[in-house]
Structure 1
C-alpha cells in the first residue's frame, strides 16, 4: 500500500471520529463507587483479569526481547506469532462473555474496524518488516480489541 493511500485512508478514518465531549455529570462519585466495588469482584472476573494480565506479561516479555531479534524473516514471524496469540486471547474472551449482554450495540462493528486496522498494519509490515513502529502499532491495535471486549461486557457494578 503506497504511503499516500495509507495517509489518506488514515485521515479519512480520523475525520470520522467524534469530537471530544465533556461528561454530562460529575463522574467522580461513580469512579469512587467502582473502586470500592472492585474489592468484591466475583471469582469469574478474576480469572479473566488474570488471563489478560498473563497475556500482557507475555506480550511485554516479547516486546522486551524484540531488541535481540535479527532483521528479515524473523520480524515477520514475530508479527505472525503476536497475531496468533492475540486471536487466541480474543477467542477466549468472546467465549467467556458469550452469555453476558453487551453494554453497547455497535461494539462488533468497532471490533471489525480494529481488525481492518490490524490487517493494514500487517500489509505494511510485509513491505517493511524491520519497522518497529509498525510492530508497536499492531500490538496497540490488538490491545484495543481486548480492552473493547472487556469494557462492553463489564458487570453493571463496574460501570461508571
Structure 2
C-alpha cells in the first residue's frame, strides 16, 4: 500500500466517524461532586512534593522535544537542532532539580565531581557531533549522558528508599 493510498483510506475512515458522541449517562453530578470534594481538601505544600518537580520537568522536556522535533529551526541540520534542544532542556531540567533539592543534604560528597565528569562526556559528544552531525548513535549517547546526570542528582538527593 502506497503512502497516498494509506492517507486516502485514513481520511475516508476519519470522515466516516461521527462528529459527536453522547455519554451513556448524565455526567454533571459526578463532575459537581469532584469539584466540591476538591474544594474541601486542603492544598498540601510540603517538602515531600519536591521530587515531583523532577518528574514534571522530565515530562515537559519530552513534550517540548516532541514539539520541537516537528518544527524546524532555520540554518541548522536536524541533528544539530536536536543536540541544541537537548542541551537547553537538560540545563533547564538540571537547574530545576538542583533548586528543588537545595535544602536537602547530599548522600555523597563527590556527586558534583561525577556531574562534572558527565558534563565533560557530553561536551566530547557534542564535539563529535560537530564532525559527524548525522550520527544517530552520538545523539543517543548525548541523551543517555544527560539522563545519567539527572538520575545521579535525583539519587543523591532523594534515594529510592526515601520514596513511598
TM range (shorter): 0.5 to 0.7
Render the CA deviation track for 1:81-130: whole Å, top value 9, x for unaligned: 11011111111111111111001110000000000000000000000000
Counterpart of 1:47 in structure 2 is 53
What secondary structure does 1:148 align onto?
Answer: helix
Render the CA deviation track for 1:117-148: whole Å, top value 9, x for unaligned: 00000000000000000000000000000000
**Comparing both chains, which one has the higher relative contact order based on Cα–Cα distances under 8 Å and sequence gaps of 6 or more?**
1
- The counterpart of 1:97, out of the listed 96, 101, 116, is 101
User: 1:55: Cα distance to partner?
Assistant: 2.4
Counterpart of 1:79 in structure 2 is 83
| Residue 137 of structure 1 pairs with residue 141 of structure 2 | yes
Q: In angstroms, what is the RMSD of aligned CA positions?
A: 2.9
TM-score w.r.t. length of structure 1: 0.61
User: 1:57: Cα distance to partner?
Assistant: 4.8
| Cα distance in 2, alignment partners of residues 75 and 155 from structure 1 | 34
TM-score w.r.t. length of structure 2: 0.60
Spell out the pairing of 1:2-151 with structure 2 (5 A cutoff): 42-59=48-65, 61=66, 65=69, 73-151=77-155
What secondary structure does 2:50 align onto?
Answer: helix
| Cα distance in 2, alignment partners of residues 88 and 53 from structure 1 | 13
Q: Which has the larger displacement, 110-119 or 78-87?
A: 78-87
What secondary structure does 1:42 align onto?
Answer: helix
Which is higher, the Rg of structure 1 or of structure 2? 2
Runs of 4+ in 1 over 6 A off after TM superposition: none
